[in-house]
Amino acid sequence: MIRRSEFLKSAVMTAAVITAAPFAQAEQTDIRVSGGWGPYPLMVIWANEYQKTHDNVDITVSGGGTGKGVSDVLNGQSDIGMMGRDPAQKEIDQGLFPIAIIKDSVVGTVNRSNPAYKEIVEQGLSREDLNAIFSGQVTTWGEVVGKDLNDDTIEVYGRSDASGAAKTWFKFFSDESQSHFQNLADANFNGDQPVAAAVAKEPNAIGFNNLNFAFNVETGEYVGDIRPVPLDLNGDNTISDDESFYQNRDVFLAAVADGRYPSPPARRMYVAGKGPFKGEVKQFVDWILTDGQQYVVENGYVKLPDAALEHQRRYLNDGVTANNRQQ
């Protein structure tokens, strides 16, 4: 026979377990994200929004460039690497698992007080012009636009970090590597913001930036003294109507979306893991491809087509290792 005292003790313990169970907290998950400066601003927004509805998740986001993101992931120092360029086959061979998330663009940037600014807007800069400028074959703006100018020595600015933006920009007009152009530049800077700040201070400078450093995210207008460089895509020394889409961010993004602005310098951006994503990290990436897409356009990026996003979700969920870059 069970004594009454033992029964009460057992009942109290059982009730305590039942009562405590609904209040048990989910295990805390820390997600570390690092890498490219291009996707960085949007990733910060995604992290903040995701954490609002996932109390058990703490996401830290840091920049450093695409190269750092890839290195961090492959070395186990990050759970997600942000990439502003297509993954290289050798990176995939090392276990990198990329998922395309958005489309963005790199633009050439000059100062609005550039002595040749009027001519640059009217004529644009062709692939040949850009190669000549960034490789040091021409050294004055007068040479570029065919006009006699004073105090027009070109200042070429590049990136010192392992930059997806740099690789994408140079790929538009040259087969040479980022390091090749780094050695030829007048100055190299670590990150987008320092390049933009340097171009804004120097009338004769030319650099390149992710589009959100040339167009204000909130207003869509130009940022300070920085101006995007119109590309003379057909090389006729004139910016024709179908090449004129730099008036504001919305007009420019429409040109990126419909392909009038070429790829490169437009590019897909990725999140990448070491091997297939798992657990809460995988859920976060899936959220980026679904609910998180509502934040893309309003923050100055271009959405991938719905079919492409769905393909990326299948790739994410199947965990296959096939290269998905062209899907």
Residue 178 placed within a domain: yes
Specify whether 129 is located in the same domain as 194: yes
Residue 53 placed within a domain: yes
For residues 37-51, one letter each, b for 16 or more C-beta atoms within 10 angstroms of the residue's C-beta and e for the rest, the string is bbbbbbbbebbeebe
Are 269 and 100 in contact, with CB atoms under 8 Å apart?
Answer: yes
The pLDDT of residue 325 is above 50 = no
Specify whether 285 is located in the same domain as 152: no
Specify whether 111 is located in the same domain as 223: yes
159 lies in which domain range?
A: 106-258
Residue 59 placed within a domain: yes
CA angle 111, 114, 115 (to 5 degrees): 175
Give the whole-angstrom CA distance, residue 173 versus residue 134.
10
User: Sorting pLDDT into bands at 50, 70 and 90, what band is 10?
Assistant: very low
Residue 11 placed within a domain: no
Residue 15 placed within a domain: no
**Which residue's structure tokens are 């609904």?**
22
Specify whether 227 is located in the same domain as 305: no
pLDDT at 30: 96
pTM recorded for the entire structure: 0.81
User: Sorting pLDDT into bands at 50, 70 and 90, what band is 26?
Assistant: low
Specify whether 253 is located in the same domain as 125: yes
**Rg of the chain (C-alpha set):** 25
The pLDDT of residue 322 is above 70 = no
Tens digits of residue pLDDT in 182-206: 999 999 999 899 999 999 999 999 9
Q: Which residues contact 138 (CB under 8 A, 6 or more apart)?
A: 132, 144, 154
pLDDT at 3: 46
Give the whole-angstrom CA distance, residue 162 versus residue 139.
26
Tens digits of residue pLDDT in 35-75: 999 999 999 999 999 999 999 999 999 999 999 999 999 99
Specify whether 66 is located in the same domain as 97: yes
The pLDDT of residue 23 is above 70 = no
pLDDT at 321: 55
* Across 143-168, average pLDDT: 94
Specify whether 276 is located in the same domain as 173: no
Specify whether 171 is located in the same domain as 36: no
Residue at 39: amino acid letter: P
* Across 242-270, average pLDDT: 95
* Across 276-303, average pLDDT: 96
Residue 24 placed within a domain: no
Specify whether 125 is located in the same domain as 67: no
**Which residue's structure tokens are 């061979």?**
93
Number of domains present in the structure of the chain = 2
* Across 250-258, average pLDDT: 94
SS3 102: strand
Q: In whole numbers, what is the pLDDT of the chain averaged over residues?
A: 91
Residue at 176: amino acid letter: E
**Which residue's structure tokens are 């990733």?**
43
**Which residue's structure tokens are 């090749």?**
180
* Among candidate residues 258, 277, 292, the one where a domain is terminated: 258
Q: Which residues contact 85 (CB under 8 A, 6 or more apart)?
A: 36, 66, 164, 165, 167, 168, 267
Specify whether 160 is located in the same domain as 223: yes
pLDDT at 25: 58
Tens digits of residue pLDDT in 70-114: 999 999 999 999 999 999 999 999 999 999 999 999 999 999 999
Give the whole-angstrom CA distance, residue 133 versus residue 187.
14
Specify whether 86 is located in the same domain as 111: no
pLDDT at 12: 39
Are 114 and 120 in contact, with CB atoms under 8 Å apart?
Answer: yes
* Across 2-29, average pLDDT: 48
pLDDT at 4: 37
Q: What CATH number does residue 132 fall under?
A: 3.40.190.10
Residue 187 placed within a domain: yes
The pLDDT of residue 313 is above 60 = yes
* Among candidate residues 241, 258, 275, the one where a domain is terminated: 258
Are 188 and 215 in contact, with CB atoms under 8 Å apart?
Answer: no
Residues of the chain above pLDDT 90, percent: 85
User: Sorting pLDDT into bands at 50, 70 and 90, what band is 303?
Assistant: very high
Residue 3 placed within a domain: no
Specify whether 67 is located in the same domain as 189: no
pLDDT at 255: 96
